[in-house]
Amino acid sequence: MAAATILAAVINLYLEVIRWLELKRNHMRTFLVFLLFLFPLAAEVEKTLSIIKPDAVKAHHIGDILSIYEKNGLEIVHLRMVHLSPKESAAFYEVHKDKGFYQELVDFMASGPSVAVVLKGENAIAKTRELMGAKDKPGSIRALYGTSVGENAVHGSDSKENAVNEILFFFPAT
């Protein structure tokens, strides 16, 4: 009789443990589904500044480059063609004033009209940098339309803070 009671208690305990584990598993599943639904909300909508530089404007690639941005889910919310003066060019690239290529960069950016655009979309800052690519990244804007380290077709803000400041530089009214 005692043996039967002990056996029943052990079986009961076993079933309790199984039930508890099931419950945990169900909770885990609910939690994962919840995370899955939250995921799209985590991709933040941002704005960034891109410049189609004078080399790409001269080579008639404005449309090609804007098209790459649009096809990749970036919305053009502001756009302006602007021929930077040497002073404006120097101010925009002031962070690089101690670099050896600074004067060359300033002269290049003032050498002809550029097109400044504000792009909006999920993770727009990183997405734009990704699409711009390094010179040797096949398919990237710089690989397609850049011609050298300096004349590399496009600029893109590299941080949230720079995006805000650079957008204000070209679109002070926004």
The residues carrying an active-site annotation are 155
- Chain residue at closest Cβ approach to Mg ion: 158
Residues 119-158 that bind Mg ion (CB under 5 A): 158
Instruction: Name the minimum Å distance from CB 20 to ligand ADP.
Output: 55
Residues 6 or more apart in contact with residue 31 via CB below 8 angstroms: none
Residue of 145, 147, 167, 172 whose CA lies nearest to 156:
167
| Residues 6+ away with beta carbon under 8 Å from 123 | 43, 44, 46
Q: Taking CB positions, which residue lies at the least distance from ligand ADP?
A: 150
Q: How far is the CB of 45 from ligand ADP (least distance, A)?
A: 22
Cβ proximity to ligand ADP, 88 vs 158, nearer residue: 158
How many residues sit close enough to Mg ion to count as binding (CB under 5 A)? 1
Asked if residue 153 lies in contact with residue 141, where contact means CB atoms within 8 angstroms, the answer is: yes
Distance CA 24, CA 27 (A): 5
CB of 110 to ligand ADP, least distance (A): 13
Cα-Cα-Cα-Cα dihedral sign, residues 148, 152, 157, 162: positive
Query: Where on the chain is the footprint of ligand ADP (CB under 6 A)?
Result: 96, 101, 104-105, 149-150, 152, 155, 158
CB closer to Mg ion out of 88 and 158: 158
Distance in Å, CB of 43 to ligand ADP, minimum: 23
Sites for Mg ion among residues 155-174 (CB under 5 A) = 158
**Gap between the Cα atoms of 41 and 75, Å rounded:** 18
Instruction: List interacting residues with Mg ion (CB under 5 A).
Output: 158
